[in-house]
Copies of this chain bind each other. A is one copy, B any other.
């Protein structure tokens, strides 16, 4: 989204807020961080944070820079047959990774996450708090299982992304997305809604 005119604000102020937000989200996680605390660290009024970045969700997404909008992804994944939710999640995941613009951004984020602790925490918060926990909250599974279901799902998604796009293990690296979905979706579906142990 291009921001124009006054809303863009001083680049220095924006950067100071983003830096403070990055620290806060990395230290305290998405839930633990507050706009007020971030504003204090950045030396600005909380109203200015809202003015530049909107909600805490939007600030978080701007901080991480993930080229995925949970507001689009989550409804698309949830819409339709509950037993196909794994397939829709894997399909969407492969679409983002395979995108010529968004794929390389995602790759840079994953690479950074393996080098820097703060970056690993941001990736974790994005995948779990912003996407998977919100999907799982709609799935009518016991709330106490939500965190482990999200973590297991994340483990298969992260591994699929790295095996296919980074380490490039054949024939996974050049397989058709639909074929991968058919093989991996049952795993993701079990982690999301199935029995946790067999």
Residues B169 and A128 in contact, CB atoms below 8 Å apart: yes
In the assembled complex, A44 has its CB within 8 A of some CB on chain B = no
A164 to B154: give the CA distance in the assembly, Å.
10
Query: A160 with B166: in contact, given A148-B175, A186-B197 (CB under 8 Å)?
Result: no
Residues A151 and B163 in contact, CB atoms below 8 Å apart: yes
- Map CB proximity to B onto A166-183 as digits: 1 under 8 Å, 0 otherwise: 111111100100000011
Residues A123 and B160 in contact, CB atoms below 8 Å apart: no
CB distance from A105 to the nearest CB of B (A): 15
Number of interface residues, chain A, beta carbon within 8 A: 44
- Map CB proximity to B onto A130-152 as digits: 1 under 8 Å, 0 otherwise: 00000000000000000110111
Q: Which residue of B lies closest to A148 (CB)?
A: B171
CB distance from A9 to the nearest CB of B (A): 32
**13 A-B contacts (beta carbon < 8 Å):** A113-B166, A113-B167, A114-B166, A120-B166, A120-B168, A124-B169, A147-B171, A151-B171, A152-B172, A154-B159, A158-B158, A158-B162, A159-B160
The chain A residues found within 8 Å of chain B, CB to CB, are: 110-111, 113-115, 120-121, 123-124, 127-128, 147-148, 150-152, 154-160, 162-164, 166-172, 175, 182-184, 186-187, 190-191, 196-198
